[in-house]
Amino acid sequence: MKRLFALGCSFTSYAWPSYADFAGLYFDEYENWAFPGLGNRALLERLSEIHATKNLTKQDTVIIQWTNPFRNDTHKFSEGHWRTKGSIFNFINSDRYNRKWLDEFFDEKSFCYHTLNNIHIAIHMLESIGCKWYFTSMGEINKAGSDYRKDDVRDHGEDIYTGEDLWEDKDLKVYIDTREQLPLKFTIPAESKGLKFGDYALSDKSLTCNCYIERKSLADFISTISVQNYDRFCREIERAAENDANLIIVVEESLTNALSFPFLPHISKKIRVTPEFIFHQVRDMIQKYDHIQFLFVKGRKESGRVIERIFCSDCVYKKIDLQLAYDKKIL
């Protein structure tokens, strides 16, 4: 039996399918052990965990996508997973890795030294097993992140918003599903109307290529994608496909927060599913349904603004990665 195991950070496991997910289609079994923000220590230890729990053999294939050397991995069994949010210099880590911590614990050469040791140990482990293995990286290791592209928005990304002239001389409304208990606010008129799927749609479907928006709070999103409600949500997506509709799921939370929801105070600690499981489900849905996108934005007010921009994008939303456009502040 051919098995593929993939390890890495968000380049290997993210909200949308990665290169590893497509490679996995050519194997009898495929497991993605990557997680956004992971560093190279965590990758080595997860490789060890795979071998201990899955018993790697000569018939297996392992892909490791090494990450930025300036990440500091910690793990807490009480939280069930690795605690990491990318580079120690990322602004979201400024409280954890403050000046005092950097002065006492950080040394650039030492962090690179740790990464090279992790890679060296992984090579010897995989060679001793005799399996096929491939190494890649989010950038060249010896350039320490200086080669990562900053201009990787798709060429047509800047055209996502065509301007308010789309609304001119048209009697347009935003239809809001009657089941929506806390409707968003828009700059154009809105009307409550029963929708077969989704929560929001524009009255003139031809202007949006039949686009519908499904709005979710983060808690709703987690509940919807969990095992209990997953099939029901897939049926809603399939109803949209039967009506030649495009469905965009807008989640009222940043992608960074969604990927680390166990740490958020407004998410119940009773939730037992992990971000890894939820986003594995998301990737499966994106691969299965070509008429959906997931978009994570910063709050309710942002949701209303972004939905309007999608509706007046002259269907450009179909051609681009909405999450990338939003993260690059184009949307």
- Assign residue 216 the CATH number of its domain: 3.40.50.10130
pLDDT value at residue 141: 55
| CA dist 308 → 31, 179, 218, 293, 323 (Å) | 38, 20, 20, 16, 15
Pair 47, 92 in one domain: yes
Query: Of 114, 143, 172, which residue is a domain's last?
Result: 143
pLDDT value at residue 143: 56
In a domain, residue 150? The reply is no
Alpha-carbon torsion 75, 76, 77, 79, what sign? Answer: negative
pLDDT value at residue 160: 52
In a domain, residue 221? The reply is yes
Pair 237, 116 in one domain: no
pLDDT value at residue 79: 63
In a domain, residue 49? The reply is yes
For 227, the domain range is 155-327
Non-local CB neighbours of 241 within 8 Å, separated by 6+ positions: 289, 291
> Does pTM top 0.75 for this prediction?
no
In a domain, residue 149? The reply is no
Strand partners, 32: 6
pLDDT value at residue 19: 92
Pair 127, 177 in one domain: no
In a domain, residue 20? The reply is yes
Rounded Cα distance between 190 and 183, Å, is 10
In which residue ranges of the chain is pLDDT below 50? 144-145, 147-158, 162
- Assign residue 37 the CATH number of its domain: 3.40.50
Pair 193, 112 in one domain: no
Query: Of 109, 143, 177, which residue is a domain's last?
Result: 143
Pair 80, 187 in one domain: no
Query: Of 99, 121, 143, which residue is a domain's last?
Result: 143
Pair 200, 320 in one domain: yes
- Asked if residue 315 lies in contact with residue 271, where contact means CB atoms within 8 angstroms, the answer is no
Pair 118, 217 in one domain: no
Pair 308, 247 in one domain: yes
Rounded Cα distance between 261 and 187, Å, is 31
Pair 99, 237 in one domain: no
Measured from the Cβ of residue 215, the count of other Cβ atoms closer than 10 Å reads 24
Non-local CB neighbours of 178 within 8 Å, separated by 6+ positions: 192, 193, 194, 195
Pair 129, 232 in one domain: no
- Identify which of 269, 246, 266 has the alpha carbon closest to the alpha carbon of residue 254: 266
Q: Which long-range contacts (CB under 8 A, 24 or more apart) does 162-166 make?
A: 162/312, 162/313, 162/314, 162/316, 163/312, 164/312, 166/207, 166/312, 166/314
Residue 221: both structure tokens together: 């999103």
Pair 14, 76 in one domain: yes
How many distinct structural domains can be found in the chain? 2
Pair 184, 265 in one domain: yes
